[in-house]
Amino acid sequence: MSTFQAPKGTYDLTPPRSAMFLAVREAISAPLRDSGYGYIETPGFENVELFARGVGESTDIVTKEMYTFTTKGGDQLALRPEGTASVLRAALEANLHKAGNLPVKLWYSGSYYRYERPQAGRYRHFSQVGAEAIGTEDPALDAELIILADQAYRSLGLRQFRILLNSLGDKECRPVYREALQTFLRDLDLDEETRRRIEINPLRVLDDKRADVQKQLTDAPKLRDYLCDACKAYHEEVRALLTAAGVAFEDDEKLVRGLDYYTRTTFEFVHDGLGSQSAVGGGGRYDGLSEMIGGPELPSVGWALGVDRTVLALEAEGVELDLPATTSVYAVPLGEEARRVLFGVVTELRRAGIAADFAFGGRGLKGAMKSANRSGARYTLVAGERDLAEGVVQLKDMESGEQSAVPLAEAAAELAKRLG
C-alpha cells in the first residue's frame, strides 16, 4: 500500500464502481442535451469575491465551508463550493447573453469542494451535474428544468424521491416579509450566531435543522401570506405546468435552500432512504445574481444534482444499473507470432467500435483465460502456432462454453455479427 491516502472527507472513484458514477452523469445530462442545453466547463477555483457576493456572505458555505488560499501573486482564490456563480460569471465574460438567443441554456459536470464534517453522503469533495437557463423570466423554464431532472432520475430507475416546491417571492414582496420575519425572530431564544443571521438573511434561520430552533418557529409568519400578486401568479403557473406534465410535487413553505441568491421558484429533490443527507439535488430561480456579481439584469433559473447522493439513492432502493460490459472480446495469444496477429485483430475490432482487450505480459493459457473471465468479455479469441498455420482462430462463447474455429480473415466480421 502507498504511504499516502486520499485526504479526509474525499474519495477515489475506481472500477468497477466508477462505471456507476459515469452512468449517473450520462443519465442526468442526456435530457439536457436533448433540450437545447450546451456544455460549459469552468475552472476549479475562482476569485473569493465571486462566491462571497454570489452565494452570500451570511451563508455557511462562505463563512465556514470554503477552501480559500492566497496565490504567490497575492490573489485571493477559493475552490468552487458550487457551480452556478462560476457558470454565470463565464457566460457573462463570454457575452453569451448578447448573442441574441435567450435563454442561454448550459449544463456542466464537475467536482466541488466544501470543508464539512465528513459523513455518508456529505463529503469535502463531491460531484454534481448542473443546468442553468440564463436571461429569461418564464415559469415554463422553471417547470422545464424540474421536469428534466425528474425525467433523469426516472430513467435511472429511481422511484422513492420527492420534489419539494416553494416560492421565495421577489424584490417587491420579499422585503416586506423579511421585516415581518425579523420582528418575529428577534423575540426568540436564539444563540448569538443565529441572531447575527437574523439581521443579514433571516430566511436562512427557517432552514436551521436544530430541533430546539424549529420548535420556536411554529408560529413564524408564512412567506406565502406575503407574496405579491405577480409572484403568486408565477408560482401557480409553475405548479400547473408540472401537474399537466404528470410530475408530482409537494408544497413546502419552509424550503429556503442554503444560498442567498434564490428568488421566486425554489425546489429540492429528496430521497427518504438517505437519512439526514436526504437532499439529492435542488435549485431555483436567481433573478438578481447577475447584478450581484456586476453583470446586467438577467433573470435565470437552474439546478444541481449530486452524483454521489444519486448513487447512494440507487443503492438504497436496490436499483442495479444495466451497465455495458467494459470488454466484449478478449484475445489470448499463445506464442510470439500469435501475439502479433491477434494484436492486429484487436486493433481492427476497436476501430469497428467493439470493446476489445488483450492478454498482455505473455502469460500462459490458464492465467490468460482467468483474466478473460474477470474482464466480463462475452467472447475470447485464442490462437496458437497450429491455428495460425491453418489460418484460423478459436472463438469461445464465454456464456455457453461453446468453441469453434473461425477463419482468421473473417474473425472481426464474425464477432461484429454475433455482438450485433
CB atoms within 10 A of CB 104: 24
Any idea what DSSP says for residue 65?
I
pLDDT at position 258: 57
For the chain, list the domains and their CATH numbers: 18-173+227-317 (3.30.930.10), 329-418 (3.40.50.800)
CA distance linking residue 287 with residue 271, whole number of Å: 28
CB atoms within 10 A of CB 271: 25
Question: Residues 362, 346, 341, CA angle at the centre, nearest 5°?
Answer: 60
CB distance 46 to 15 below 8 Å: no
pLDDT at position 202: 84
CB distance 229 to 127 below 8 Å: no
Which three three-digit cell numbers place residue 376? 466480463
Distance between terminal CA atoms of the chain?
42
Concatenating the DSSP letter of every residue in 170-189 gives: -TTTHHHHHHHHHHHHTTS-
Whose cell is 401570506? That residue is 225
Strand partners, 162: 270
Which three three-digit cell numbers place residue 348? 481492427
| Closest to 86 (Cα-Cα) out of 134, 121, 124 | 134
Sign of the CA dihedral with 340 first, then 346, 351, and 357 last: negative
CB atoms within 10 A of CB 263: 22
Q: Per residue of the chain (420 residues), give pLDDT as tens.
A: 678 999 998 999 998 899 999 999 999 999 999 999 999 999 999 999 998 887 776 667 777 789 999 999 999 999 999 999 999 999 999 999 998 889 999 999 999 999 988 777 788 999 999 999 999 999 999 999 999 999 999 999 999 999 999 999 888 888 888 889 899 999 888 888 888 888 887 887 887 778 888 888 888 888 888 999 999 999 999 999 999 999 999 998 878 765 666 789 999 999 988 876 788 999 999 998 999 899 999 999 999 999 999 999 999 999 999 888 889 999 999 999 999 999 999 999 999 999 999 999 988 899 999 999 999 999 999 999 999 999 999 999 999 999 999 999 999 999 999 998
